[in-house]
Amino acid sequence: MPETEPGRDFPRLHVRPRRGWLNDPNGLVRVDGTYHVFFQHNPDEPVHDRVGWGHASSTDLLRWTEHPVALAPRPGGPDAAGCWSGCVTDDDGTPTAVYTAVPDHPDHARAAGALLARSDRSLLGWTADDRFVVGTPSLVGVEEVRDPFVFRVDGHRYVVQGAGARQGRPQLLLWAADDLEHWVDLGPLLTTDDPVAAAVAEANLWECPNLVRVPAVDPTAEDAWVLLLSLWRWVDERHELAGVRYLVGDLQADGPGLRFVASSGGVLDDGPAFYAPQVLPDGDRVLVWGWAWEVGRSEEQVRAAGWAGVLTFPRELAVADGVLTSRPAAELVGLRDRPLRGLVDGPLDVTAFELRSVCSARLRLVDDGRELFSLDVGGSSSVPTTVLVDGSLVEVFRGGATRTERAYPTPTSTWLVDADPAMVQGWSLALP
């Protein structure tokens, strides 16, 4: 495929290679002051096929360096059909990737297993094992297992995996993993016997589970355990990715293992283009990235563009009265380049910008009188709205809630803002 300059719809400030396919963020970690973000990636085509792990790093969450593919499918290996989602953990000083490996198999998702790969502290070169740590267990009601995520409690290390069946109910599997090469089965961490989980997170399989302690908005309140679940459903003989839910709750002892007991829950992002997030505990905060897929682009348009999928900006999570909130990572103000003058008087001549509204407002993308995209921004003096636009990615933050949208500028389209000019501010965005 010949190299072409990406168009105005390409998000230039976000993590995303110039070409190919991208989906789930993986292996988020900070090592020796450098943030590392891995992601599902097919560098050859903008389609999900034999994906590996792409890799980018940053010291400031603003400027990202793209690195060679970190993990790639190995012909004849346990990951011959793909290196799917997982995490990176510190194993006695050795950065270790824990991920779903998919072998060549007629039904490869059901033949997948958990695999380890190790690196030095540069995280630039990886050596993968040749055998699964664990495969898909023989459990009633479980056909597929994937997306291992490592967490620690009271000095012990555990792994949680998403599980379920096309015609069945979801659950999370729990393993003791103080020895990362030998996992001990501890049974389920969560099932739909939990009434909050059953009501909030209806699915056939829970994907990309993340379990983390999240700080409270009120500094006098205690941190809370938060579980993120991506909803995989089997509908009309096809799989459907049905958004992301969060559960706030507690971890309780359950025999030799643990049980997550939910007290509340909700939608992590209510937009049409957000899935498979991963968290990164970072000092006294928790960051999260998500995958924003393409919405409204045909297969022909995607192939012509040569790329598909982008990671969101990093967001900071907090809990307020049982509700999980999100806001842009504090560092992102460093992208503000210059104030936008005459914000509501005419078209915006930039492809990346930030809006802050304290009134009723509408953001529109227009091409030759035809409206390509329209979004009610809203906002008030007590609950302002922040909108971050980069190429075709639109991220909205208001009162702790978020919404991820896609809108595709053309060579002749323009952005317009309908609002009271005294009640809205704007900045162009660029790398410092």
Written as one string, the DSSP assignment of 335-400 is GEEEE-TTTTTS-B--SEEEEEESS--EEEEEETTEEEEEEE----SSS-EEEEEETTEEEEEETT
Written as one string, the DSSP assignment of 249-313 is EEEEEETTEEEEEEEEEEES--SSS-EEEEEEEETTEEEEEEEE---S--HHHHHHHTEE-EEPP
Amino acid identity for residue 120 in this structure:
D
Active-site pick, 9, 24, 79, 147:
24
Written as one string, the DSSP assignment of 135-172 is E----TT--EEEEEEEEEETTEEEEEEEEE-TTS--EE
Nearest of 343, 254, 239, 244 to residue 288 by alpha carbon? 244
Nearest of 279, 259, 277, 267 to residue 199 by alpha carbon? 267
Distance CA 355, CA 361 (A): 10
Residue 128 near residue 102, CB atoms below 8 Å:
no
Nearest of 402, 314, 289 to residue 24 by alpha carbon? 289
Distance CA 171, CA 268 (A): 19
198 forms beta bridges with: none
Told to judge if 60 belongs to the known catalytic residues of this protein, a careful annotator would answer no
Distance CA 194, CA 214 (A): 21
Residues labelled as active-site residues: 24
